């Protein structure tokens, strides 16, 4: 079966799980197999996380869909992703913010940052910038952000990430030590911050100054 057919089948299953059309359309435009190492490409359109090496994973498509749906990404937005991994989630978000928006994505593992940069360039994304750094405290240089998507689990919500969110902004972040929950953080126009728990999740840890220690 050709990748477009497999992708359409996967996206249709996500539609039955309640994912919005805007996110589904974006996912249809991103060839997930081109964000994977050759040994797992054949499984690209199965709804599961897959190894991308270095003890890390590309998130399952339903998790990418849920986070993008919660973030309600729109044309022209300035977005921060913490945890680039393969670059796939950054590509889906880049589709949603369009050519007038930008995705800044930070990764702490050098070979993965390179892998993601190459994947994104090969598929043709020019509105994504991948940076090699500890993103647990965000990226001040390109802040403030309309949206922040953290794709690894933090012990607590890092204060610098809250500070780098624009008034009216949204952040999706998995939080937890043994049991993780997905939080949606909303910053009102007056700066008041609200947190909503959206359900249990399983992510690799956020390692760094505002995350877990690396031992």
- Active-site residue flag, 59: yes
Question: Cβ closer to ligand SAM: 90 or 185?
Answer: 90
CA atoms within 13 A on the CB side of 17: 17
- Our measurement of the distance from residue 44's CA atom to the centroid of its chain's CA atoms, rounded to an integer in Å, reads 17
Q: Is 88 in the site for ligand SAM (CB under 6 A)?
A: yes
Instruction: List the beta bridge partners of residue 82.
Output: 106, 150
- Taking CB under 6 A as the rule, does residue 139 contact ligand SAM? no
- Tell me the closest approach of the beta carbon of residue 58 to ligand SAM, in angstroms: 4
Q: Minimum CB separation from ligand SAM for residue 74, in Å?
A: 20
Minimal distance, residue 126 CB to ligand SAM, in Å: 18
Q: Which long-range contacts (CB under 8 A, 24 or more apart) does 140-145 make?
A: 140/164, 142/78, 142/80, 142/102, 142/104, 143/80, 144/78, 144/169, 145/78, 145/79, 145/80, 145/104, 145/169
From residue 28 to residue 67, what is the string marking binding to ligand SAM with x (rule CB under 6 A)? ----------------------------xxxx--------
Cα 68 from Cα 89, distance rounded (Å): 9
**Is 120 or 170 the residue whose CB approaches ligand SAM more closely?**
120
62 with 17: CB under 8 angstroms? yes
Residues forming contacts to ligand SAM in the complex (CB under 6 A) are 56-59, 82-83, 85-86, 88-89, 106-109, 112, 134-136, 151-152, 203-204, 206-208, 211
């Amino acid at each position: 079966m050709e990748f477009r057919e497999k992708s359409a089948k996967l996206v249709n299953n996500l539609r039955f799980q309640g994912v919005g059309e805007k996110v589904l359309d974006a996912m249809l435009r991103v060839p997930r197999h081109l964000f994977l190492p050759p040994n797992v490409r054949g499984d690209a359109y199965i709804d599961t996380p897959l190894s991308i090496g270095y003890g890390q994973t590309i998130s399952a498509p339903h998790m990418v869909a849920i986070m993008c749906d919660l973030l309600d990404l729109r044309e022209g937005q300035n977005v921060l992703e913490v945890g680039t991994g393969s670059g796939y989630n950054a590509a889906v978000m880049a589709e949603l913010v369009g050519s007038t928006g930008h995705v800044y994505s930070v990764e702490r593992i050098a070979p993965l940052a390179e892998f993601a940069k190459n994947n994104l360039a090969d598929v043709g994304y020019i509105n994504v910038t991948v940076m090699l750094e500890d993103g647990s405290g965000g990226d001040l240089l390109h802040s403030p952000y309309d949206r922040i998507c953290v794709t690894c689990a933090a012990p607590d919500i890092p204060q610098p990430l809250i500070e780098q969110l624009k008034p009216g902004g949204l952040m999706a972040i998995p939080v937890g030590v043994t049991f993780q929950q997905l939080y949606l953080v909303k910053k009102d126009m007056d700066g008041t911050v609200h947190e909503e728990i959206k359900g249990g999740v399983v992510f690799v840890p956020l390692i760094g100054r505002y995350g877990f220690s690396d031992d």
